[in-house]
Chain A
Amino acid sequence: MKYLMGFALLLAVIAMPAGADAVTKAEDIATTIMLRGQPCGGNTVSNISESKDGAGNTVIKATCPNGIRYRVDVSANGRVSVTPIR
């Protein structure tokens, strides 16, 4: 039991940096919004909602720290566009 606990702790320590370095979805969407030249006011977004239509287009809605809600459209061929929701 003692060895098992030690092994689990070792695994947790090894796995921790990889998990910490990965970009979260909220950060990813915030970066995408800023990359399209829209103001966001922070590195993460909240209230994320995602939907996919039959043609393969993905629509993501998220709210930036500055209060503006955005719609991120990812088309089936990989084109990304960001529009603020009024």
Chain B
Amino acid sequence: MMPWREKFVRQMLAGCCCLSLFLCAVQPVVAGDEAVDDRAGSDPVEVQGKQETNGSMTLEATRQGAIEKADKAEEKVTETADEHYSDAVSKDDGDMTEKADDEAAGPEAASGSHTHFNMDALIERLKNSDAIGVFTKLALRSDAMDVVDEVKNWREHKGRMSLSEIRARFDGLLLKVLALLDDDPALSADISMARDNIWNSLLEGKA
């Protein structure tokens, strides 16, 4: 049998171990709650005060640190704002100069060069496309030639068709082309987007 003193000492040691373990486990939870409370309070002076009572930092030093941080943040914000402003100003200037150049060159020159380029590229892509067969391409070409002839006649006041009728025919032809380009969706999308440009180039007699 164990003497009662030895038994008491062992029990006390076990109790101390349990208590220390409990305290270790509880400490982070308490610290976390305090941190949450600090963030919720969002008063730096109060936080610093707490820290001061803990003896980690003096109130004055933390205040100065906070002021320095605030100053740095302010400088950073001002710098980024200046950068954004200068970027925006330079972009606006660029847009304005581009617009001015376009206006100076005239509306025809501004839109014409892009339209002409697109037309050539689209025609070339349509010629090289595998989605449409040779005879179908020839049939579409002869339809397109008919529309071009109608536009020419309308311009020379010789045609029987009105411009809206020619436009309807042009739209029908374009719809046929788009339907046939089912296997070439990229070209189909590009032609669909360039619809008005193609019509304008037809009216200008460039096509």
Contacts and interface: CB of A to CB of B under 8 A. Distances in A.
Interface of A: 18, 21-25, 27-29, 31-32, 35-36, 60, 72, 74, 78-80
B129 to A, nearest CB: 10
Given A21-B183, A35-B140, A35-B176, A80 B135 contact: yes
A72 B141 contact: no
B132 A23 contact: yes
B138 interface: yes
A25 B139 CA distance: 14
B136 A32 contact: yes
A32 B176 CA distance: 11
B79 interface: no
Interface of B: 130-136, 138-143, 145, 176, 180, 183
A78 B140 CA distance: 10
B17 to A, nearest CB: 71
B174 to A, nearest CB: 13
Contacts of B142: 78-80
B183 A28 contact: no
Contacts of B138: 32, 74, 78, 80
A18 B183 CA distance: 12
A23 B141 CA distance: 18
Contacts of A60: 135
A72 B133 CA distance: 14
A22 B139 contact: no
Nearest to B139: A80
A25 B136 CA distance: 10
B140 A22 contact: no
B141 A28 contact: no
A25 B183 contact: no
A79 B135 CA distance: 10
A31 B130 contact: no
Given A23-B130, A80-B135, 6 more contacts: A21-B183, A23-B133, A25-B133, A29-B133, A31-B132, A35-B176
